[in-house]
Chain A
Amino acid sequence: MNAPELAVAACHALDLAWTAAATAERAEHWQRLHGDAELATWLAPLQPTHLYFGSEFCEHLLPSARALREALSQAKSAGLRLVLLTPVASPEVLAQLDVLLPTLPAGSEVVVNDWGVAHELASRFGDLRPVAGRVLCRMTKDPRIDAGWAGRCGHGLAAPTMHALFSRLGIRRLEIDVPLFADEEVFADLPLPAAVHLPYVYVAKGRMCRAGSLSVTGTERFAVGRRCQKECLRFSALASRPGRADVAASVQLGNTFFSRHSAAMASSLRQAVDSKRVARLVVPGAPL
């Protein structure tokens, strides 16, 4: 494996001109997005290869057929391969995917975060490539714990039973976060090529959305699956615990709670990339 591929993630149309720009301009772009000079300098030499489009976490951010067609066109113009991100699926999401999936070119990757979506792909869309997403690739990532809890922070991806399930569903790649207490062997035990997300770890997601309930009134405010105004596209919340010495900064974006990589996690990831244990890096294309 050479340098990792680099994916830019988005749930709506982005200006992608910068992806083909010179290294210095890409560094400026990453610095502007994520406010981390060291991260920006590290990412800048990598030319983006993929556009991740859609949402891993929210059914309301699944693109329309038109938005997906436009994103496919935009990605093609920018020389990027589009990967469709899909969330945990309600029956309605499955129906929407029935419309979206046939529009993808053969061989396209689809990140699945739902066993039902994986099953549909395996049984009805054999020319697409399912990738196990972060919701399916479970790993304890509670940002409030210290190293004393490290023994509780493993994953089950190396278990033969999970490997058999992936094989049955035609899953040949997976997506993962950086473990909270990563060491020099991080990602060495993964059974499939891995895409690693940065600079945030997904901690927990709900179907109920606090921010998405802003414009809802009555008895179904905070109820699951209700339509929102997509408030998460406009604002997020920094979440902190007064009086606690948490290392990582946490962010609530829509229905999902994230925590930022600690310096140690960022260092472990770079080491894993240097050791060629990471097939792809995935970075949000907008600030959280």
Chain B
Amino acid sequence: MRIVAPVSRVAEIEPLAQAGASEFYCGLVPPDWLGRFHAINANRRPSGNLTRYEDLARAIDIAHAHEATVSLVLNAQHYSAAQIGAAEDIAGRFAALGGDALIVSDLGLLHALALRFPALRMHVSSVATCRNAGAARLCRELGAQRLILPRDVTLAEAASIAAEVPDIEIEAFVLNDGCIFEEGACHTIHLPGQLGGPICLDRFEYRYRRRDGGAVSPRLAARLQQNDAEYERWLWYRFSCGFSTTPEGLPYGPCGLCAVPVLRRGRVAAIKIAGREAPTARKLASVRMVRSVLERVRAGEDDAAVRAFAVGLRPSESHCATGYMCYYPEVLRVEGR
């Protein structure tokens, strides 16, 4: 099981590799992309990208020196016909630099890239929203070697996909950066904060109504109000406990550390740390946390011991007990039996 870590600066690779990451992923927005397409991103994230091919070359060299790999992200929600050509050019430059894999969200583009650059591995981005065996089979037929599952899967689903389609590697989220809507089914823009930010964090007020035109009963209104309050609490957890860390810099959730043993038994090949845009310190702390858990799993510790260790890392017993900080809260159910 490999640890996949995000990078946005060349200088991050060496310390993250030393901390235990064996794969890196990064984005690149070439200088001419903005001028050509009036879009600030060539992938899903508007920031946290490299901007120069020279930096990409250095990133690849440093990673390879540590026996690690570099994947380049081409995972915008969609690419126009003109952008497809430009994305292929980026992929070509990446291949020439000795890059290892492309992470692609547009399955049509992925197939074209797989045919054109057979030396590169093709990883299907979580933004493609492929979360069943049929989709995994299609990805394999189109030339993908790996499917990165979206956040919105259960442990049982991840394992069933891995079992049904064994000739494609499965990667699953393990730490940081939640989404509310399914990333690949959210057709919005992460607006600047002064315009509202991501739609799931914008301050919408809800006014409930019955669809048959009747009045919402006081009892239902009270239940909805309670549900909204609980949702706000869940939202705080979903976004890393208000985007906070421990005093030592360890990030809160979303977190799947307790699920690593189950993911490993389910033949998940790689676990992903999210957050290309995060500070280096958070990335480093994240890799150390995941590595320390994975070492115990590899050493054969049982699930309860691994969980006790993971919960004690921050420590975060009270947060963990809510289940709201978990990528895979069913872990708590399984262990409660």
Contacts and interface: CB of A to CB of B under 8 A. Distances in A.
A36 B112 CA distance: 46
B165 to A, nearest CB: 10
A223 B323 contact: yes
Nearest to A115: B135
B90 interface: no
A116 B165 CA distance: 12
Nearest to B152: A207
A135 B185 contact: yes
A204 B134 contact: no
A235 B187 contact: no
A219 interface: yes
Interface stretch (B59-67, B78-86, B239-247, B300-308): B78-86
Interface stretch (A73-81, A99-107, A159-167, A262-270): A159-167
Interface residues of A, number: 73
B35 interface: no
A80 B186 CA distance: 32
Given A161-B108, A203-B188, A238 B181 contact: no
Contacts, number: 235
Interface string A73-113: 00000000000000011110110000000000000000000
A193 interface: no
Interface stretch (B2-10, B279-287, B326-334): B326-334
Nearest to B158: A91
Nearest to B84: A159
Contact of B129 (A88, A158, A225): A88
B216 interface: yes
Interface string B94-113: 00000000000011110110
Interface stretch (A13-21, A61-69, A136-144, A273-281): A136-144
Contacts of B24: none
B106 A162 contact: yes
Contacts of B200: 204
Contacts of A164: 108, 111-112
A160 B83 CA distance: 11
A161 B188 contact: no
Nearest to A167: B108
A205 B132 contact: no
Nearest to B113: A161
Interface stretch (B227-235, B263-271, B290-298, B310-318): B227-235
A213 B182 contact: no
B203 A241 contact: yes
Contact of A119 (B106, B137, B153, B203): B137
A165 B111 contact: yes
A163 B79 CA distance: 13
By CB atoms of chain B within 10 A, which of A88, A141, A218, A252 has the most? A88
Contact of A237 (B80, B139, B196, B209): B209
Contacts of B153: 90, 224
Contacts of A88: 129, 131, 182, 185
Please give me the 10 A-B residue pairs with the lowest Cβ-Cβ distance, nearest first: A219-B323, A116-B134, A116-B135, A161-B108, A156-B78, A165-B108, A207-B152, A204-B186, A142-B188, A119-B138
24 contacts: A91-B161, A114-B134, A115-B139, A116-B136, A116-B137, A120-B134, A138-B77, A140-B189, A142-B189, A145-B189, A158-B80, A203-B187, A204-B200, A205-B181, A206-B152, A214-B224, A219-B322, A221-B234, A222-B324, A225-B152, A225-B154, A237-B208, A239-B207, A257-B199
Given A115-B129, A142-B199, 16 more contacts: A115-B107, A142-B187, A155-B80, A156-B106, A160-B81, A161-B112, A162-B108, A165-B108, A219-B321, A219-B326, A222-B231, A235-B224, A236-B208, A237-B209, A238-B206, A252-B206
